């Protein structure tokens, strides 16, 4: 294989992932959440949801986004750990949505618990096909009724 041919395949693959990858990640929950402006702002997350966001970082060479939060009040934060609440991440600049991938052997790449523990940090990974989300991007994380807006990817 020539170098030019390999670069052409890589460029084509990257273009396809950027163009159609986010479309595959759309979920009805994210669509509904995007239209609802009645949810609390980031500043009230501790009071409303009993959590503190620890980090939102690029991971796995930029192919994943690692979201971590500390539980302050397990009762208020319970909705974030429920399996039926499907998390998604929305790029605020484009509106593209990304989900937590589900692998055949491991299942969803997120931590769930029947009982949350105060002071413990919980995590989830969002897919980032084609490294669409870049360092410094502003995003919104949606999990059921929970919504954290204007978070900066580190």
pLDDT tens per residue, range 61-73:
999 999 999 999 9
**0.85 exceeded by pTM:** no
Closest CA to 41 of 139, 149, 146: 149
Find the mean pLDDT for residues 123-141.
Answer: 97
Across the chain, what does the average pLDDT equal? 80
Contacts of 46 (CB under 8 A, 6+ apart): 52, 72
Asked if 96 and 132 count as a contact pair (C-beta separation under 8 A), the reply is: yes
Asked if 62 and 84 count as a contact pair (C-beta separation under 8 A), the reply is: no
Whether 27 has a pLDDT exceeding 60, the answer reads no
From residue 131, how far is each of 21, 58, 59 by CA, in Å? 10, 9, 10
Find the mean pLDDT for residues 18-35.
Answer: 43
d(CA 88, CA 99): 5
pLDDT for res 106: 84
d(CA 112, CA 28): 21
Highest mean pLDDT pick, 8-22, 25-39, 105-119: 105-119
């Amino acid at each position: 294989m020539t170098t030019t041919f390999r670069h052409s395949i890589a460029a084509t693959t990257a273009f396809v992932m950027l163009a159609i990858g986010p479309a595959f990640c759309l979920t009805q929950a994210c669509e509904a959440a995007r239209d609802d402006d009645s949810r609390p702002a980031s500043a009230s997350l501790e009071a409303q949801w009993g959590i503190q966001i620890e980090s939102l970082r690029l991971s796995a060479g930029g192919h994943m986004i690692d979201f971590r939060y500390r539980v302050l009040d397990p009762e208020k934060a319970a909705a974030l750990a429920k399996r039926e609440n499907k998390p998604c991440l929305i790029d605020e600049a484009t509106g593209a949505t990304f989900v937590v991938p589900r692998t055949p052997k491991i299942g969803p790449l997120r931590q769930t618990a029947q009982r949350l523990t105060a002071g413990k940090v919980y995590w989830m990974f969002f897919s980032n096909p084609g490294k669409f989300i870049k360092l410094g991007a502003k995003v919104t994380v949606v999990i059921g009724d929970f919504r954290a807006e204007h978070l900066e990817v580190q």
